[in-house]
Structure 1
Amino acid sequence: MAGNLPIPLEQGALPDRLQAEVARAAEYAKASRSPATRRAYASDWEIFTLWCDERGIESLPTTPAAVAIFLSSQADSGLKKPTIGRRLAAIGYHHRQAGFDPPQERTGGAAIKLVLEGIRNEKKHERPERKRPADADMLRDMLRTIEGDDLRATRDRAVLAIGMAAALRRSELVALQTNHVELTSEGLRLLIGHSKTDQAGEGATIAIPEGRRIRPKALLLEWTNAALEAAHRLNDPRISFEEGPLFRRLTRSGGLTANPMSDRAVARLVQRCAAAAGFDPADYAGHSLRSGFLTEAARQGASIFKMRDVSRHKSVQVLSDYVRDFEMFRDHAGEKFL
């Protein structure tokens, strides 16, 4: 199959002169999934192929019955519903990549659907595992643990502050570019170019107040000024800070690079600072910055719609859960007689 496109080329083999165009089309097809999704799919596929190898089952193409049994075994091992669903999606994705129909779309695919429905019913009372939010007080404690004014310290403080102030997912945080930031007299405007709920990449611009407690604007300026100076000293056009990723990976010695931080590095940073501030790092992750903003906004009485302006949730249901947690005891019906 030319260019390894995840769809069959029905017109048959293409002339050699079109191979460059086919390769470019394959790149666009690959970009239909975010890097995080592709990594997860690769891991899920490796797990499935290993499971098949251990049982002498063909993994590509595989049968609907094999997939149904695999999903059942994953459920029995204690895997959560979202992960099981993603593993099925990964199997379908890799079949399409190889030019095969996904097992769930072939004759006998109804068995997969039935098993999946059964798993969901069995696990319907399963509470999703959530990491704790890093609210404003905790974030200030975490920021205080980052000492010094070197590149790593200034970057890490800015990552925590912007991640919380903009309610960013860690994938959004590391995808920020230097030209995505606009300074204003009141704070910052931040362009979010691509996100989990905006796979088409239409983008959204959000406002970040200057702030007096966490001071996201000041901390970001400390980082950008330090990074610009470091890039100037290097005098290497490949490591310019005029464009490219906003939050950069650093060398072991703390030197600037042209590459972005990884989303996993953000998660490790949150856990490391949580531990240094006296919290259990196992309770926190990269998402704690985003949920911390929403938790604090709800506590301060912000409206769901103002929260949504920042978080960009498609549905207000998730936001209403944050608000409800803090409204449960406010003006309680039994306040005056219990």
Structure 2
Amino acid sequence: MTTVFDREFERAEVLTVLTSQSEQKRQAIIEEYERRSLEAFAPETLRNLRQIKRAFSEWCSERGYEATPPVQPQIVAEYIEAMGGNLSANTIATRLWAISEHHRSLFLPSPCRHRLVELALKSVKRKYGAFTRQAPPLAKAEVLKVVAALGTSRQELRDRALIWAASDTWCRVSELVAFKVRDLERQDDGSSLLFVRRSKTDQFAKGDYAFLSKGASNAVLKWIEVAELKTDDPIFTKSQCHAIRKPLSPATVSRIMKRRFDRKDVSSHSMRVGGVHDAFRLNCSLSSIMVAGRWRSPEMPARYGRRILASQSAAAQVAEAFEQEAAMADGSHNG
């Protein structure tokens, strides 16, 4: 007879066993969970977790609720309603994950699995929509115009290398700032590859590669030479002479992009989106786009390119064909 694994039943059994343990043993397990979490989660994930816990605690305090687990499902459902219309559905889901993780860390059942909470989330999505705001695209033509206008100061050389690399590689900002000089691999045709050691979709560091054109390779190599960077130095670091060689922060990269493009709405992610737009305009296959952006599923690149895809859809082609036919008929009639 085949036994079917029931995750909920298994979790309930674990909680039952833990509840029967002495307070000393229970505390020891909780401390071990915390230690292992520090090793398992990325620093940014842990930072977000702490920020969300603090925000939820403040929200509860303002309303006279207790934020210490176990939290009642009714409170979490009300919290979702309060976030509706102010935060995106994805952000709300992230906050619910943090509340669940807080309960898991104490080996308590999560209120976020309660039907009241599920209905509250579904209600918010239905009322306000689940649309996720997309970073505005920065296409290659605009990028090349900006890098061509940059001069030869240390800061401009660094920024040219950074902007060109972001545009060519389609890297997330976390990947960009993690590159070290040793990750750059030259190719015979003058282009290069950058070894992406870890990414959002590769948390266990299997590694991948990103492409750099000849122009971008030269820009990066010029910056490395001027800054006198060593093999283990980060490529994208401060531009000042004798500055401590540590990676730029994602926030600093964002400020550089806004300043160089003279736009407050863009970031390095805009070039990732812009790259997808350019690729769809050139009729690149979805599989090649996934390889370039190191996506594991087609959902995200398809979402990035939906504006371009709408213009290339069957509906657009039919409309264009009949417009051309009507124009030809009108021309024949006038003739």
TM range (shorter): 0.7 to 0.9
1:197 to 189, 194, 201: 201
Cα 1:209/1:140, change in 2 over 3 Å = closer
**1:337 corresponds to which residue?**
325
- Please name the residue that 1:170 is paired with: 173
Mapped contact 2:53–2:99 kept (Cα < 8 A): yes
Contact conserved, 1:206 with 1:309, CA < 8 A, in 2? no
- CA distance in 1: counterparts of 2:146 and 2:251, whole angstroms: 18
Q: What is the TM-score normalised by the length of structure 1?
A: 0.77
Cα distance in 1 for partners of 2:152, 2:210 equals 30
TM-score using structure 2 length: 0.78
Please list every run of 5 or more consecutive structure 1 residues that lacks an aligned counterpart in the other structure. 1-6, 232-240
Confirm or deny that 1:143 pairs with 2:126: no
Provide the C-alpha distance between the structure 2 equivalents of 1:316 and 1:52, rounded to a whole number of angstroms: 39
Measure, in 2, the Cα distance between the counterparts of 1:27 and 1:172.
26
Deviations 1:64-97 (A, max 9, x none): 221111111111x522111111111111223334
**1:104: Cα distance to partner?**
2.2
Deviations 1:205-224 (A, max 9, x none): 233332xxxx1101110121
The alignment yields a C-alpha RMSD, in angstroms, of: 3.0
1:74 to 80, 83, 96: 83
Comparing 162-171 and 303-312, the one that deviates more = 303-312
Shift of 1:48: 0.8
Q: Which has the larger radius of gyration?
A: 2
Kept in 1: contact 2:198–2:206 (CA 8 A): yes
- Residue 168 of structure 1 and its aligned partner are, at CA, apart by 0.7
1:311 & 1:28 partners in 2: Cα distance? Answer: 31
What letter is aligned with 1:298? F
How is 1:259-338 mapped onto 2 (pairs within 5 angstroms)? 259-275=246-262, 280-282=263-265, 284-320=266-302, 322=305, 324-325=309-310, 327-328=312-313, 329=316, 332-338=320-326
Partner of 1:112: 117
Alignment-derived partner of residue 8 in structure 2? none
Residues 335 and 296 of structure 1, relative CA distance in 2, 3 Å threshold? same
- Cα distance change, pair 330–68 in 1 and its aligned pair in 2 (3 A): same
The answer to whether the 8 A contact 2:34-2:105 is kept is no
Corresponding residue SS for 1:179: helix
Identity score, percent: 23
Normalized per residue, the structure richer in helix is 2
Shift in alpha-carbon separation, 1:145–1:256, aligned structure 2, 3 A:
farther
Equivalent pairs counted in the alignment come to 298
Residue 64 of structure 1: which of 41, 60, 73 is its match?
73
Structure 2 stretches lacking a partner, 5+ long? 1-13, 327-335
